Chain A
Amino acid sequence: MTHGSHPPRVIGVEGLSRVEGEGSLRVEVHDGTVIDVALEIFEPPRYFEALLVGRHFTEAPDITARICGICPVAYQMSACAAMEDACGVTVDERVNRLRRLLYCGEWIQSHALHIYLLHAPDFLGCADAVELAQLDRGAVERGLQIKRTGNLVMETVGGRAVHPVNVRVGGFYRAPDPASVTALIEPLRRARDAALATVEWVAGFDFPDVTGDYRFVALRDGGRYAIEGGRPASSEGLDVSPVEFADLVVEEHVARSTALHARLGGHDPYLTGPLARYALNVGGLSPLAAEAAVRAGLGPVCTNPFRSIVVRAVELVFACEEALSLAESYEPPDPPAAAVTPRPGVGTGVTEAPRGLLFHQYEIDGSGTIRWARIVPPTSQNQLTIEADLRRVAQGALELGDDELQWRCEQSVRNHDPCISCAAHFLDVTVVPS
């Protein structure tokens, strides 16, 4: 390929595939230099912050779950945490453990989906998992088996895999009976072994040599690997409460990029998600997950975005082990939910969705009616960093032909498993006509 002075070389992907939701990417190259990159969102906004106003505080978990069918539990957990914070309620440890088990189910299904169906095909030159199955049906079947186990955990604890029905502010409608939780143990053991095989499989892929310069942000939860709660922390020493964090995150609505961009303190872009969680929680990994990380050659911090698939696989091992230990020690919470009486005030809830930090903030009145809502999903927090990655990756791969460069750029976006459906409830839909 030549990229002399004129005209500019433009790589554009109209309908970005193997991501959740609808987006496009665009890279513009002038005289051998990437001058512009954009991850554009054309998913229509669904106005969740507006439609929540006037609803009852108990409805927030079910309504916000519908922001994203891939990570509904994350929405339910952040909404519950925020409402319980607003009402000054702390839930029983057994409720918390059951929430963590449900959340592990979601991590397992979402990570298995991303690794096997959305991301691995890129590394093996396949258009999708169906084509990958023609090369290696066993691998895809292993991924589907892990995914099925994640769904099984969600069905057992939550009632169903997409938009669970058993979650309420304060806890659960009914605690699953011990026999049904015990029945998860065998499938979880098999899933854990399959997850270990996954780490080995993905660690053998070829990774482009790229080093990101990331400001990582993740929860930290007293030494254990953060999932359903904790304090927001950064690789640069930030350590704040959820409400202080919510105050630090400033979102701007800009026309050209078609998205609200989140920055810390109004100026610093940052990255949440598996790479960030791993860097800030590595000491909290379960034994097999920690060993698998070492065998896969991951140091204490991974800054190659293409290797995020390895980190996700390590988290998959962790989520299986953690779910296993929670299932083995399960005691039904009694009562299954704390009583939550509304009082006027503001509450903040923050949890680790599979794709990264998800925070909710609500103001409710004395009758429990929602006055305003603010929801900040991982993808909007990551968007500026995803674009910075795209620039770095494209700049280092200009020797590739257009088709290959385009594929590499797509892969660079998929490295971060963006969930555009999540982001879109507050994203602009104006598509710049080409």
Chain B
Amino acid sequence: MTGPTESAPHDGASSAPADPDRRPTLAVWKFASCDGCQLSLLDCEDELLSLADAVNIAHFTEMSRATVSGPYDVSLVEGSITTPADARRIKQIRESSRRLVTIGACATAGGIQGLRNFAASGEYARTVYAHPEYITSLDTSTAIAEHVDVDFELHGCPIDRLQLLEVITATLAGRRPVIAGHSVCQECKGRGTVCLLVSQGIACLGPVTRTGCGALCPTVGRGCFGCFGPAETTNTPSLAAQLRRQGMAPVEMSRLFRTFNASAPAFLEESVAQGGSLPVARGVAVHPDGPEEDS
């Protein structure tokens, strides 16, 4: 993994912070999410203090009382859009950010809370609240890129912290982050992990899921459940056919494709092909590129 930034001191303890005025500014924003992706930044225990020397962490509510007003050089955005107020807030953040990077499945695909996109209007609020009339939220949970332009999307539920460091480093340096787009399956082959799907008939989304985790689940003998979302090129129908031959029922398959990245186009199409309900697009389009474009 690359170090924090080219200008970042690697041994923080022995070097003074850079001239505060010249440091680039970094802001971290939260929408509907679990905080796990922004926690990945605080989980960079070895790099956190030197990163804070090299960049001015100008807005990061989970970490600091202090906040510096924009514009910001880089904004990291966690979470999905689920309320009218948040749909407005993301536009303001876009305007005050030179580069905007979305982090995690919530921000890039609507997250697990995006399952509401497949339910009848108001059904979820009625299930959870005694007084659904007190609730102001959209019927949909949508990715940030459906509302504003996004410079880079980092996938995962949660994201990998080393990939996050690479994205911050690259974005500050004005280059494209080096993040692989191939599948978990290829990663397993590279590591010599015995294929669970072929050798044990375990359901695994590894062939269609983006790498980045280091093929964690197959390493513990568990099928991949797709938390990094679809790989750059996927053939979900062929995987579905194989799972079908191994005896998996369509309803189980639909559930398998429909978790943290349920609204990512490749997974959405396959879950619908397996008989999952269609997304109900109201207010905000469920996915402009998805099969249910016309609302």
Do B113 and A17 touch (CB < 8 A)?
Answer: no
CB proximity of A339 to chain B, nearest CB, Å: 15
Do A45 and B135 touch (CB < 8 A)?
Answer: yes
Do B42 and A113 touch (CB < 8 A)?
Answer: yes
CB proximity of B69 to chain A, nearest CB, Å: 13
Within 52-104 of B, Cβ neighbours of A (below 8 Å) are at 52, 57, 61-67, 82-83, 85-86
Residue in A16, A22, A46, A159 whose beta carbon sits within 8 Å of that of B216 in the complex: A159
On chain B, the residues within 8 Å of A133 by CB distance are: 49, 52
CB proximity of A254 to chain B, nearest CB, Å: 8
Check A393 for interface membership: any CB of B closer than 8 A. no
Check A174 for interface membership: any CB of B closer than 8 A. yes
A161 vs B65: C-alpha distance when bound (angstroms):
26
A34 vs B184: C-alpha distance when bound (angstroms):
57
Do B259 and A63 touch (CB < 8 A)?
Answer: yes
On chain B, the residues within 8 Å of A166 by CB distance are: 220, 222
A55 vs B254: C-alpha distance when bound (angstroms):
11
Within 115-138 of B, Cβ neighbours of A (below 8 Å) are at 115-116, 119, 123-125, 127-131, 134-137
A163 vs B123: C-alpha distance when bound (angstroms):
28
Check A21 for interface membership: any CB of B closer than 8 A. yes
A47 vs B122: C-alpha distance when bound (angstroms):
11
Q: Name which of A79-87, A140-148, A197-205, A344-352 contacts chain B.
A: A140-148
Do B158 and A163 touch (CB < 8 A)?
Answer: yes
Within 100-154 of A, Cβ neighbours of B (below 8 Å) are at 113, 117-118, 121, 127-131, 133, 137, 140-141, 144-145, 147-148, 151
Check B40 for interface membership: any CB of A closer than 8 A. yes
Do B259 and A429 touch (CB < 8 A)?
Answer: no
Residue in A131, A162, A426 whose beta carbon sits within 8 Å of that of B128 in the complex: A426
Q: Which of chain B's residues has its CB closest to A253's CB?
A: B130
CB proximity of A390 to chain B, nearest CB, Å: 17
Q: Name which of B26-34, B173-181, B280-288 contacts chain A.
A: B26-34
Check A389 for interface membership: any CB of B closer than 8 A. no
A44 vs B123: C-alpha distance when bound (angstroms):
16
Within 397-434 of A, Cβ neighbours of B (below 8 Å) are at 407, 410, 421, 425-426, 428-431
On chain A, the residues within 8 Å of B37 by CB distance are: 69, 162
Check B152 for interface membership: any CB of A closer than 8 A. no
Q: Which of chain B's residues has its CB closest to A63's CB?
A: B112
Residue in A17, A163, A252, A425 whose beta carbon sits within 8 Å of that of B62 in the complex: A17
A128 vs B31: C-alpha distance when bound (angstroms):
22
> CB-CB contacts of A12-33 with B at 8 A, as 1s and 0s?
0001111111100000000000
Known: A130-B57, A148-B46. A56 touches B127 (CB 8 A): no
Chain A count of residues within 8 A CB distance of the other chain: 71
Residue in B61, B65, B134 whose beta carbon sits within 8 Å of that of A22 in the complex: B61
Do A253 and B64 touch (CB < 8 A)?
Answer: no
Within 242-284 of A, Cβ neighbours of B (below 8 Å) are at 252-253, 255, 258, 260
Do A144 and B134 touch (CB < 8 A)?
Answer: no
Check A66 for interface membership: any CB of B closer than 8 A. yes
Check A290 for interface membership: any CB of B closer than 8 A. no
Do A47 and B48 touch (CB < 8 A)?
Answer: no
Known: A17-B62, A128-B65. A428 touches B129 (CB 8 A): yes
On chain B, the residues within 8 Å of A159 by CB distance are: 216-217, 219-220
Check A38 for interface membership: any CB of B closer than 8 A. no
Known: A72-B36, A161-B43, A426-B128. A20 touches B136 (CB 8 A): no
Interface centre among B36, B43, B48, B137 (most CB of A within 10 A): B36
Do B227 and A45 touch (CB < 8 A)?
Answer: no
In the assembled complex, 24 residue pairs joining A and B whose CB atoms fall closer than 8 Å, in A order, are A15-B67, A17-B62, A17-B65, A18-B61, A20-B62, A22-B61, A45-B135, A51-B113, A59-B259, A69-B36, A69-B38, A69-B39, A72-B34, A118-B63, A147-B45, A159-B220, A160-B213, A162-B43, A163-B158, A163-B227, A166-B222, A253-B129, A407-B65, A428-B135
